[in-house]
Structure 1
Amino acid sequence: MEIPAFKQNLQDWITQQWVILFGKRIQPKDKLWLLGPFGDTNGIGLKFIKQLAQHEGLIIDKKQIDKGLLNSIDQLHLTESALNHLSKDVIDFYENTSNYKFDLKVKWNPLFKVFGYALKFLFSNRIEQLNIPMNNTKASGVLSSEIIHLLDKNSKTVKRTIWLRTFKASNQVVYSGIYEVCTIPNGQPCIKAIFPLPNGSATVILEPKVGKNGELILNSSGQTIGDSGFYFLLKDAKGNLWTKFIKSFKDKLVVSSENENVKAVQTLTLWNLKVLEFQYAIKKINCDQA
């Protein structure tokens, strides 16, 4: 039986062994759309960004403004009618995410809140990743958001886009995710969010569509490997790659605009039960003062 690497925290080892036991071994050449950077065993946090740049021979872009999760909305290959219907404010948000600030409201389902505390205690605080706020209150000005571009040294083109969110007071990492566009096997372009974990990652693949009011709807509602959805990936002690597709876990994000104000609602469900809802009020900043 294959096993994870031994030189790491016990909680991480047990989680990775679960992926091996109940997941599937994959060949990298057959799953390029799914793959992305993995984390180290000594935590993720801020140091991961420098480690990734060094490992891939990239440089960190020092520019503070006009940096987006997407280089262009055209990367999603929406139909002409869908693109014309999509809110221009939503397009600007995705192409210039660094020009916006966020207020956050978190709503937990009480049935699942204990699992949130367990996640923080066992993993999040230690590895500095997926550190979900636990309070069901509006957190105005609590989060800091930064878009970090890693550039090719010669061409200066963007090779990696990282969305780093931290608590302002403590500088503790909430999320450190790598965002890119991938094309799943059925030919559908999707947004892929990669959250590095020790010797692996939690990866969410979101399928885009445009709603009737011009909102961008991103949904991870697939049924099997190859669809949009939530995946754990890891590298075992021998360097083999494994994935576990979590069919029961869904992530839906709706980004909309009203009176030039952008807002987003993200809903996480498990077994069709709402686990958690994030409500974001997104405001454009004065970039001349940034």
Structure 2
Amino acid sequence: MSIASKNQSIQDWITQQWVILFGKQIDQSKHKWLLGPFGEINGIGSKFIEQLAKNENLSICKSNEPKGLLKSIEQLNLPSSDLNKLSKDVIDFYENTSNYEFDLTTKWNPFFLLFGHLLKLLFSNRLQQLNIPLSSNKNSKEMNSEIVQLTDKATEKVKRIIWLRTFKQTFQVVYSGVYETCKIPNGKVCIKAIFPLPNGNATVILQPIVGENGELILKSAGRKIGDSGFYFLLKDKKGNLWTKFIKSFKDSLTVSSENNKITANQELTFYGLKVLNFRYDIKKR
């Protein structure tokens, strides 16, 4: 039986061993669409950016020019009819994300709050990753949002895009993730969000749909490896690559604009039960 690396905290080792026991060993050459950077064992948060730049021999871009989660909305390979219908405000948000700031409101299903507390106790505080507010709050929390580009030292071509989000009041890291597009096996182009974890990552693959009112709907609702959805990835002690597809966990994000005001509503469900709802009020700086 394969074993997770032992030189790490016990809770990380147990989580990784669970992925090995109930997941699937995969061939790196056949799953390039799924691959992404892994974290190291000494914390994630803002440290990850410098670690990734060093590991991949890249430079952290110092330019003050606007930076987006996407270089161009055309990366999503949407049909021309959908692209023409998509809100121009939503397009600008994805292409110039660094021009925007956020207020976050959360609403928990009380039955899943224990899971949130365990996540924070065992992982979030220590790793500085996935620090989700634990109370449903009517008053929004202001967030800092930074888009970090890692570039090739010779060509200055952008190789990695990282979205770092922290709370303004506490500077606590909420999310630190790598964003890119990928083409899943059915040929659909999706947005891939990669959240580094020790010796692995949590990857969410979101398939884009344009709604009737020009909103961009991103769904991770697949049923098997190769679909959109939520994946854990890791390397075991011998360097073998493993993944666990979490079919029961779904994510739906809708980014829309009305009267020049952009909002994003995100709903997480588990076996069809609503776990958590995020509302982001998005405004230009």
Normalised to the residue count of structure 1, the TM-score between the two structures is 0.97
> What secondary structure, in the 3-state scheme, does the structure 2 residue paired with 1:112 have?
helix
In 2: Cα distance, 1:162 partner to 1:147 partner: 6
Alpha-carbon deviation of 1:172? 1.7
Greater shift, 139-148 or 89-98, is seen at 139-148
Alpha-carbon deviation of 1:236? 0.3
Determine the structure 1 residue equivalent to 2:59. 59
Residue 141 of structure 2 contacts residue 167 of structure 2 at CA under 8 Å; is this kept in 1?
Answer: no
In 1: Cα distance, 2:23 partner to 2:251 partner: 20
Residue 66 of structure 1 contacts residue 98 of structure 1 at CA under 8 Å; is this kept in 2?
Answer: yes
Determine the structure 2 residue equivalent to 1:288. none
Determine the structure 2 residue equivalent to 1:110. 110
Residue 103 of structure 1 contacts residue 139 of structure 1 at CA under 8 Å; is this kept in 2?
Answer: no
Residue 53 of structure 2 contacts residue 59 of structure 2 at CA under 8 Å; is this kept in 1?
Answer: yes
CA RMSD of the aligned region, Å?
0.9
> What secondary structure, in the 3-state scheme, does the structure 1 residue paired with 2:41 have?
coil
Alpha-carbon deviation of 1:168? 2.0
Matched, 1:119 2:125: no
Determine the structure 2 residue equivalent to 1:238. 238
In 2: Cα distance, 1:97 partner to 1:68 partner: 4
Determine the structure 2 residue equivalent to 1:50. 50
In 1: Cα distance, 2:157 partner to 2:108 partner: 40
What are the superposed Cα offsets for residues 16-64 of structure 1, whole Å, 9 maximum, x if unpaired?
0000000000010010000000000111111110010011111111124
Residue 89 of structure 1 contacts residue 260 of structure 1 at CA under 8 Å; is this kept in 2?
Answer: yes
Residue 177 of structure 1 contacts residue 195 of structure 1 at CA under 8 Å; is this kept in 2?
Answer: yes
Residue 103 of structure 1 contacts residue 138 of structure 1 at CA under 8 Å; is this kept in 2?
Answer: no
Alpha-carbon deviation of 1:141? 5.1
Determine the structure 2 residue equivalent to 1:28. 28
The residue type equivalent to 1:187 in the other structure is G
Determine the structure 2 residue equivalent to 1:94. 94
In 2: Cα distance, 1:155 partner to 1:256 partner: 36
Distance 1:117 1:141, change over 3 A: closer
Number of residues of Structure 1 aligned to a counterpart in Structure 2:
285
In 2: Cα distance, 1:63 partner to 1:134 partner: 36
> What secondary structure, in the 3-state scheme, does the structure 2 residue paired with 1:142 have?
strand
Matched, 1:146 2:121: no
Determine the structure 2 residue equivalent to 1:165. 165
Greater shift, 133-142 or 172-181, is seen at 133-142
Q: Gaps (5+ residues) in structure 1?
A: 286-290
Matched, 1:194 2:194: yes
The residue type equivalent to 1:80 in the other structure is S
Residue 41 of structure 1 contacts residue 198 of structure 1 at CA under 8 Å; is this kept in 2?
Answer: yes
What are the superposed Cα offsets for residues 140-173 of structure 1, whole Å, 9 maximum, x if unpaired?
4532111111111122111100000112233221
Q: Gaps (5+ residues) in structure 2?
A: none
In 2: Cα distance, 1:228 partner to 1:139 partner: 33
Identity, in percent, stands at: 67
In 2: Cα distance, 1:256 partner to 1:48 partner: 31
> What secondary structure, in the 3-state scheme, does the structure 1 residue paired with 2:5 have?
coil
> What secondary structure, in the 3-state scheme, does the structure 1 residue paired with 2:121 have?
helix
Alpha-carbon deviation of 1:133? 1.1
Determine the structure 2 residue equivalent to 1:155. 155
Determine the structure 2 residue equivalent to 1:77. 77
Matched, 1:250 2:250: yes
Alpha-carbon deviation of 1:284? 0.9
In 1: Cα distance, 2:47 partner to 2:213 partner: 41
In 1: Cα distance, 2:153 partner to 2:137 partner: 43
The residue type equivalent to 2:275 in the other structure is V
